[in-house]
Amino acid sequence: MIPASAPVPVSFEDRMATVDFRVAADAHITVDGDACRGCSTRACVTACPANLFVPMADGGILFNYEQCFECGTCYLVCDTAGAITWRYPEGGHGVAFRRS
């Protein structure tokens, strides 16, 4: 049961719109969709707090780096070697927290 006082739920898009991202021209994380085809855990899909890993019908993964928190969760939970290439974005780019 949701209490009457519960806050109005926000869509994931609106949630991410509260965060300031200074998007770099180059992707700092790349995902090899082919490597993902053999993956049974799909751990990244629910663990990524920014919800950036989208499973595709063909078993691959669609990934977009633009709204990434640079947290590191994905490379730690993924146990398929070579699926994720991870580095920090170019200096001055990426997430910029203001109120956390």
Partner 1 sequence: MSAPGSLTASDNAASSDAARFDAVVVGAGPAGSAAALVLARRGHRVCLLERGPYPGSKNMYGGVVYPRILDELLPGWWEEAPVQRWVTRRATMMLTADQALTVDFRSEAWGQPPYNGATALRPDFDAWLAAKAVDAGALLVTSTTATGLLRDGPGGTVGGVTTDRPGGDLRARVVVACDGVNSFLAKEAGLYGKPDPANYTLGAKEVLALPAATIEDRFALGPGQGADFEIIGCTGDIAGGGFLYTNRDSLAVGVVLHLPALAAAGVRPEQLIAGLKAHPAVAPLVAGGELVEYSAHLIPEGGYDMMPTLTGPGMLVAGDAAAMCLAAGIWLEGVNFAIGSGMAAGESAAEALERGDVSEGGLSGYERRLRDGFVLQDHRRLRHAPHLLLSDRVQRRYPQLACDIVEDLFTVTNPEPKPGIGRLVRRRVASSGVRLRHLAADSWRALRTFG
Does position 31 interact with partner 1 (CB under 8 A)? The reply is no
Q: Tell the residue number behind the tokens 């001055």, with chain if given.
A: 92
C-beta of 58 vs 92, nearer to partner 1 = 92
Record the tokens describing residue 100, joined without a space: 């956390």
Site residues (CB under 6 A) for ligand SF4, limited to 49-78:
49-50, 52-53, 61, 68-74, 78
- Residue 86 β-bridge partners: 29
Distances in Å between the Cα of 92 and the Cα atoms of 22, 53, 69, 86 are 8, 24, 14, 17
What are the residues binding ligand SF4 (CB under 6 A)?
Answer: 29, 31, 35-36, 39, 41-44, 48-50, 52-53, 61, 68-74, 78, 80, 83-84
